[in-house]
Amino acid sequence: MLKKWLNKILPSRRGGKRAEGKTVIPLERHNIRAEMLSFAAEKVICRLKEAGFQAYVVGGAVRDLLLGIEPKDFDVATDATPEQVHKLFRRSRIIGRRFQIVHVMNGAEVIEVTTFRGGAKVHQNARGRIMKDNTYGSIEEDAMRRDFTCNALYYDPEKEEILDFHNGMDDIAERKLVMIGNAAERYQEDPVRILRAIRLSGKLGFELSQATVGPIAESIGRLKHEPVARLFDEIMKLLFSGHARECLKRLKEFDVPDDIHPLFNALNISDGMDGKMIGLALKNTDERLRADKSVSVGFVLAALMWPELNRHWKVNLQQGLKPSHALSEAMNTLRDTVERGWGVPQRFSATMREIWLFQPQFENRRGTRPHKLFAQARFRAAYDFLILRAAVGDADRTLVDWWTAFQTASPEQRADMTKNQPSVRYGKNEGQAKKRRRRRRKPDQGSVGANQQ
């Protein structure tokens, strides 16, 4: 049904007029009107055109509008250089080293403006990865440099036309993801394109063309040479695409080496309690994103890394450390690995630590401790994490029920709930580390002298 509908509104290869090596698709064939763009995107394009430059909405926004999906952001492509764009817009800044782009701020919205990339030879390292790409060219050259045919569509809001250089409209109608150019060479230039291909196919429900999927198996090992921070960013896009489980299902079709990134190892856990916890966390995240609800990156990462942390925690408990101390020591073991080896920014790792540190404290339900815990800012996230643990059998369900009741109780009821709670008792070996022998106090010198006399 969907394919028939798309075929009605999307043109075939004969559906538009050919001009200068591109297909020009009129409004009656794509139904994207200028008012469907954000105010900020229209304003940026108008300003660029008034200054005598070409300007188009490009990439994922055009693709999503064709699919009936509301774009999350709008990107603009132009023949103006980054310096010229920056000069036109007071609230803008040039970013990027490999390829410079301009972020134009309009209220709370940020429009990413890129200059048409040229076809001149770029700077590559010994492995073929593009290291610097600040060569500019025509719109035709820019279309050739883009990754997938469905992302090489340029929308002109003034004429309400789409320029299609690589039959991207046909591929969208067929729900097919096709790499532009030689896929093996494109993966060599930028191995992260492999993850992008898997993410887009999972998110959009597109099938990878044979030419696109063929070189992935032999190219995926190149990802190990990418900076961990860049890999982390791409993994986050996959996890927060709203279709994380489908993306991971497609990722598992390829033999991802263990040394690419530790998060891949965590995501590959599918058995037992650990696998259930990760699966449930991703399911909840997908559902919240599709319902346009907020999600916490720190919370999801805390769930993904909990299995490894939990193993360290249990070892420390067996050695006799009290739960809170045992968990702190486990976190210290992971700290350098998480923030350096995993590329997790400190703002996310701080949230993870706070959520984790709450977990043993939930056992303390006597006296003033529950009241102090409930008043803390990160309580809700930590409580939701406790629910997640209980759902897979990693925490006591009665503990969750007690804290659920505590939140809705009156001040008098809370006082009663905490009044008669027993003290926390540790299991075998927990909190029973060998006590230090107290040093014998030396006798006072004056007393010694008196006794000698």
Kindly state whether residue 287 falls inside one of the protein's structural domains. Answer: no
Q: Does residue 219 sit in the same domain as residue 261?
A: yes
Kindly state whether residue 139 falls inside one of the protein's structural domains. Answer: yes
pTM: 0.80
Q: Does residue 394 sit in the same domain as residue 346?
A: yes
Q: Does residue 305 sit in the same domain as residue 394?
A: yes
Kindly state whether residue 1 falls inside one of the protein's structural domains. Answer: no
Q: Does residue 138 sit in the same domain as residue 189?
A: no
Q: What is the pLDDT of residue 283?
A: 94
List, as one string, the DSSP characters of 152-201: -EEEETTTTEEEESS-HHHHHHTTEE-BSS-HHHHHHH-THHHHHHHHHH
Q: Does residue 125 sit in the same domain as residue 42?
A: yes
Q: Does residue 143 sit in the same domain as residue 40?
A: yes
Q: Does residue 257 sit in the same domain as residue 311?
A: no
Catalytic residue among 75, 170, 190, 286: 75
Q: Does residue 37 sit in the same domain as residue 69?
A: yes
Domain carrying residue 341: 297-419
Kindly state whether residue 275 falls inside one of the protein's structural domains. Answer: no
Catalytic residue among 64, 73, 233, 394: 73
Q: Express each pLDDT in 304-321 by its tens digit.
A: 999 989 999 999 999 999
Q: Does residue 306 sit in the same domain as residue 338?
A: yes
How many domains is the chain partitioned into structurally?
Answer: 3
Residue 384 identity (one-letter amino acid): D
Say whether 73 is catalytic: yes
Catalytic residue among 142, 147, 164, 274: 147
We report the CATH number of the domain holding residue 168 as 3.30.460.10
User: Is residue 267 a contact partner of residue 244, using CB atoms and an 8 Å limit?
Assistant: no
Tell me 225's DSSP state: G
Kindly state whether residue 439 falls inside one of the protein's structural domains. Answer: no
Kindly state whether residue 358 falls inside one of the protein's structural domains. Answer: yes
For the chain, how long is the longest CA-to-CA vector?
119
Q: What is the pLDDT of residue 447?
A: 45
Q: What is the pLDDT of residue 132?
A: 54
Helix 192-204 / helix 244-251 crossing angle, nearest 10 deg? 130
Q: Does residue 351 sit in the same domain as residue 240?
A: no
- Cα separation, 248 vs 46, whole angstroms: 40
| CA proximity to 71, closest of 179, 163, 155, 175 | 155
Q: From 174, 190, 217, give the residue that closes a domain.
A: 174
453 residues of the chain, pLDDT tens digit each: 444 444 444 444 334 444 446 899 999 999 999 999 999 999 999 999 999 999 999 999 999 999 999 998 999 999 999 999 999 999 999 998 778 999 999 999 999 999 999 865 555 555 555 545 568 899 999 999 999 999 999 999 999 999 999 999 999 999 999 999 999 999 998 999 999 999 999 999 999 999 999 999 999 999 988 888 889 999 999 999 999 999 999 988 888 887 788 888 888 877 788 889 999 999 999 999 999 899 999 999 999 999 989 999 999 999 999 999 999 999 998 876 676 677 888 889 899 999 999 999 999 999 999 999 999 999 999 999 999 999 999 999 999 999 999 999 999 999 999 987 776 655 555 555 444 555 566 555 544 444 444
| Burial class of residue 153 in the structure, from the number of CB atoms within 10 Å of its CB (0-12 exposed, 13-18 middle, 19+ buried) | buried
Q: What is the pLDDT of residue 427?
A: 52
Q: What is the pLDDT of residue 133?
A: 58
Q: Does residue 329 sit in the same domain as residue 220?
A: no
Kindly state whether residue 397 falls inside one of the protein's structural domains. Answer: yes
Q: Residue with structure tokens 């230039």?
A: 189
